[in-house]
Amino acid sequence: MVLATMNVKLLMDTLRLTAERAPQFVDITDAVTELVRRSGVLQGMALIFSKHTTAAIKINEHEPELLKDMEAFLSRVSPQDGEYCHNNFEVRTVNMEEDECPNGHAHCQHLLLNTSETVPIAEGQLQLGTWQRIFFVELDRPRQRQVTVQILGV
């Protein structure tokens, strides 16, 4: 199959999300599925990309008790009340904003997750496994967030 001879489609959109707490796994699979449908792409891929350093994208299972485990795991590995140089506003001078919040824990938790996930599309369907769902993962606090979704294919 030679791609250059085919009519490539590209849909790009932004999901705007605000979680209720942090850490929180927010299932965005249905929203991505809807964008795949709108794109008309039958064979290709979906890229789901968080525009943030303290909010991630991760594929995992949507089982409520497991979500509690994963949220607790992140909090255990990098607790909010831990000590972080990033939170020392008396020393820190770089990337300081007016309403800067201490969020060193959220950056460190993000190291374990991803900024993006890519999912293959075949016959117009996301090729997720039986238990795979796409999550937006808030790690900092409830904030307005943007997730860019690109659907590319034929």
User: Applying CB under 5 A, which residues contact Zn ion?
Assistant: 103
Is the peptide bond between 142 and the residue preceding it cis, with omega within 30 degrees of 0? no
Q: What is the rounded distance in angstroms from the CA atom of residue 38 to the CA atom of residue 144?
A: 24
Our CB check for Zn ion shows the closer of 53 and 60 to be 53
CB of 100 to Zn ion, least distance (A): 7
Our CB check for Zn ion shows the closer of 78 and 103 to be 103
State both tokens at 80.
């909010």
Total count of residues recorded for the chain: 154
CB of 30 to Zn ion, least distance (A): 30
Our CB check for Zn ion shows the closer of 103 and 109 to be 103
CB of 145 to Zn ion, least distance (A): 14
Which residue, judged by CB position, is nearest to Zn ion in the bound state?
103
State both tokens at 141.
């606090």
Angle subtended at Cα 97 by Cα 14 and Cα 57, rounded to the nearest 5 degrees? 35
Our CB check for Zn ion shows the closer of 87 and 132 to be 87
- 């090729």: which residue's tokens? 127
CB of 19 to Zn ion, least distance (A): 16
Helix, strand, coil percentages in the chain from 3-state DSSP, rounded to 5: 25, 35, 40
